Amino acid sequence: MNQEKYAVDIDNTTQVYEFVSVGSKGAIQKLVQYTPLDENREFFNLGFGDKDPVSGKLNDLTVTNNGDTQKILATVADTVLHFTARYPDVWVFATGSTPARTRLYRMGITNHLNEIENKFEVLGLTNDGWQSFETGINYEAFLVKRKS
C-alpha cells in the first residue's frame, strides 16, 4: 500500500514488530506479533495492539483513538508483507478483538483489495466456512497467503 507508515523495529525471528503511534494522545508503543497456530507452523495468528508499558505484552483491547488509524493499518499491513517474505508458505490469520475492529480490517482489505490480491490469496470466514474474499460480506476472520 502506498500510504504513510511508521518505522518498525523487527526482532530476529521476524515474528515481533514494534512501532510508535504518534498522534493526538501522544506517543503510544504498538506491537504486532505472529504466533504459530499449529504444530507444523503453517498458520500464524496476527496479534496487534498496544504494548503494555509494565509487562511489555500485547494488549489488543485498549482503545487509544490517537488519530492515526490509517497510518497504523498501513504499518500493520507492511508487517504482513515483511513476515510473509520470510515465511512465504504460511497462512496469516487475523480477526479483530471486537466486531468493530474486525469490520475496520474488512474495510481496509476492501479499500485495497486489488493491490492485496496481486500478492496474496485472501479468504474470509462466514458461518458457512472459509471463502474467497468478496466485498460487501461481513466476515468473522481473515486468512491471507502469499501467491507463489
pLDDT at 61 > cutoff 90: no
Instruction: Using alpha carbons, list the distances in angstroms from residue 19 to 5, 66, 90, 92, 117.
Output: 10, 14, 24, 20, 26
Q: Which cell goes with 112? A: 485495497
Confidence grade of residue 1 (pLDDT, cut at 50, 70, 90): low
Q: How many CB atoms lie within 10 A of CB 102?
A: 19
* String of DSSP letters for 2-19: -S-----EE-TTS-EEEE
More confident residue, 1 or 147: 147
Share of the chain above pLDDT 70, in %: 99
Mean residue pLDDT of the chain comes to 94
Please state the pTM of the whole predicted model: 0.92
- Give the pLDDT confidence of 65-119 residue by residue, as tens digits: 899 989 999 999 999 999 999 999 999 999 998 999 899 899 999 999 999 999 9
Rounded Cα–Cα distance for residues 8 and 142 (Å): 23
- Amino acid of residue 92: V
Domain positions in the chain: 9-146
